[in-house]
Amino acid sequence: MDVIVLIVLVAGSAASAVLAVYWSVALYQVIRTMVLLPTARDGLALPVPDVSVCVVVPAHNEAKVIGNVVHSLRQQDHVRVRFVLALDRCTDDTAEIARAAAGPDERFEIFEIESCPDDWAGKVNAMWTALHRSAHARDADFLLFVDADTTLHPGCVRATAALAEHRRVDLLSLMSTLTADTWFERVVQPIAALELMRQYPPLRASRAENRRSFANGQFILFRAKPYWAFGGHERVKDHLLEDLGISRVAAEEGLAAALLNADGVLICRMYHTWTEFRKGWKRIYTECANRKPGRLKRATRRVRAIDTVLPVLAVGGALAALLTSVEPVWLRTVAAVVCLGGLAVWCVALAAIYRLSRAPLWAVVLSPLAAWRVSGILREAAMDLVHDRPTEWGGRAYSRVSR
């Protein structure tokens, strides 16, 4: 028994030391990002920009949420703003609800897209088709692409356009403030988002040099002139994660970009059920890994090791140090200090991440289980590619060839 306890003490202490180092660096990066990266809320205090903005909202069977986003668009306080709703092959009441919500507001154009070419992704085709039909889009200074499941602060368009002008960027994207009402939003979503931020650090997405291109399709603001010049969304017509694709195109074309925290100026409920959550994040991870199963498998192992195995070993070491009487005493004392210290750093870092996600702090205790669920999504994404299982999204099945 003493031998087993000693093994647990040593393993727990080693895991805790790694835990302390890793999460100290992670906490530093979180704080650094929050300090250096402006938020969309900062734009509310900037002078009102003298620019016109056309907001494009693609929607496929979004009857549950389309009324909400239309209402928030109607509340926008920017004078020179117009709206385009691109209703993509809807088979529910999306069109009727959208028209009722828009009412007599002449700022709205509503287009129903009835079909999608085989070589286009549905969302991209809807946006591109609506843009070419729209009178509002032709002369706009900025084009803003917003998902139907978002809610915009009344000053959102004004603030982000002001930030784009102030920072002199051609592409400005927001990391949405996500809702935290369901169990998976509270427990799993912060870890899912954390893994995405590991792969695409926000500060690197805004660099001029050595950029790690990334944009969030829930909110992408483009300066219209360079957007049309490089070919717009037609350049990523077959992308299931068009936001990542078009951010890479923008980088290739030398466009200045910024990725900012929404800080409540843009709120999004990504998924309503666990099934939708799992399917949606699997699609995101697949495309972020450039459809490379090996990269997804490595991410699976990393998440399990860092976010599940290390904390569990640290807890085991702490319990062994505090609840057993194995000799020598100094070993138990050192192990207790190291394990509790590592767990303290881990808890503080995770608490900051969960708080930024507006998730309850009690959910931090469940984060090792959440990480295991996220690693399962990553692994499933890898296996789908290996076995050539199609991705079902937006009413269509897409065969994604692994690379």
> Is the CA virtual torsion 260, 58, 278, 377 positive or negative?
negative
Asked if omega into 360 is within 30° of 0 (cis), the reply is no
Is a pLDDT exceeding 90 seen at residue 114? yes
Mean pLDDT (whole number) for 65-73 = 97
Residue pair 40/174 in contact by the 8 Å Cβ criterion: yes
Q: Give the pLDDT band (50/70/90) at residue 336.
A: confident
Per-residue confidence (pLDDT) for residue 375, from 0 to 100: 98
Mean pLDDT in the chain?
93
Domains of the chain: 2-31+292-394 (no CATH), 39-182+200-269 (3.90.550.10)
Per-residue confidence (pLDDT) for residue 396, from 0 to 100: 67
Report CA dihedral (403, 290, 212, 148) to the nearest 10 degrees.
160
* Neighbour tally for 25: CB within 10 Å: 12
Per-residue confidence (pLDDT) for residue 402, from 0 to 100: 59
Residue pair 69/151 in contact by the 8 Å Cβ criterion: yes
- What CA–CA distances, in Å, run from 168 to 83, 139, 213, 247, 256? 24, 20, 17, 16, 8
Bridge partners (DSSP) listed for residue 275: none
* Neighbour tally for 73: CB within 10 Å: 26
Percent helix / strand / coil, the chain, rounded to 5:
55, 15, 30
Cα within 13 Å of Cα(320), Cβ side: 28
List, as one string, the DSSP characters of 45-79. Answer: GSPPP---EEEEEEESS-TTTHHHHHHHHHT---S
User: What proportion of the chain, given as a percentage, has pLDDT over 70?
Assistant: 97
Is a pLDDT exceeding 60 seen at residue 403? no
**Tokens at 27, concatenated:** 């906490």
Strands 53-59 and 81-88: parallel
Is a pLDDT exceeding 60 seen at residue 39? yes
Per-residue confidence (pLDDT) for residue 327, from 0 to 100: 77
Q: Give the pLDDT band (50/70/90) at residue 109.
A: very high
Per-residue confidence (pLDDT) for residue 54, from 0 to 100: 98
Nearest to 50 by CA among 80, 12, 14, 85: 80
Mean pLDDT (whole number) for 213-238 = 96
- Choose the weakest-confidence range: 5-19, 347-361, 389-403: 389-403
**Helices assigned H by DSSP within 289-388:** 293-303, 310-323, 329-356, 367-386
Contacts of 130 by beta carbon, 8 Å cutoff, 6+ apart: 56, 58, 84, 85, 86, 109, 111, 113, 137
Residue pair 146/32 in contact by the 8 Å Cβ criterion: no
Burial 32-65 (b: 16+ CB within 10 A, else e): eeeeebebbbbbbeeeebebbbbbbbbbbbbbeb
Strands 257-261 and 177-178: unpaired
- Choose the weakest-confidence range: 29-38, 131-140, 163-172, 186-195: 29-38
Q: Give the pLDDT band (50/70/90) at residue 395.
A: low
Per-residue confidence (pLDDT) for residue 147, from 0 to 100: 97
Strands of 103-249, DSSP E:
108-113, 142-146, 150-152, 171-175, 177-178, 219-223
List, as one string, the DSSP characters of 161-192. Answer: HHHHHHHT-SEEEEEPEEP--SHHHHHTHHHH
Render pLDDT for 269-285 as a digit per residue (tens, 0 to 9).
999 999 999 999 999 99
Is a pLDDT exceeding 70 seen at residue 399? no
Residue whose token pair is 């999306």? 94
The radius of gyration computed from the CA coordinates of the chain, to the nearest angstrom, equals 23
Per-residue confidence (pLDDT) for residue 1, from 0 to 100: 56
Backbone phi and psi for residue 395, each to the nearest 5 degrees, phi listed first: 85, 10
Alpha-carbon distance of 202 to 28, in angstroms, equals 14
Higher pLDDT, 65 or 7: 65
User: What proportion of the chain, given as a percentage, has pLDDT over 90?
Assistant: 82
Mean pLDDT (whole number) for 206-234 = 94
- Choose the weakest-confidence range: 134-143, 320-329, 343-352, 393-402: 393-402
Mean pLDDT (whole number) for 18-47 = 93
Q: Give the pLDDT band (50/70/90) at residue 181.
A: very high
**Tokens at 54, concatenated:** 């056309």
Higher pLDDT, 241 or 85: 85
Per-residue confidence (pLDDT) for residue 210, from 0 to 100: 84
Mean pLDDT (whole number) for 288-313 = 95
Per-residue confidence (pLDDT) for residue 351, from 0 to 100: 96
Given phi > 0 = left and psi -120 to 50 = alpha, else beta, which region is 172? beta
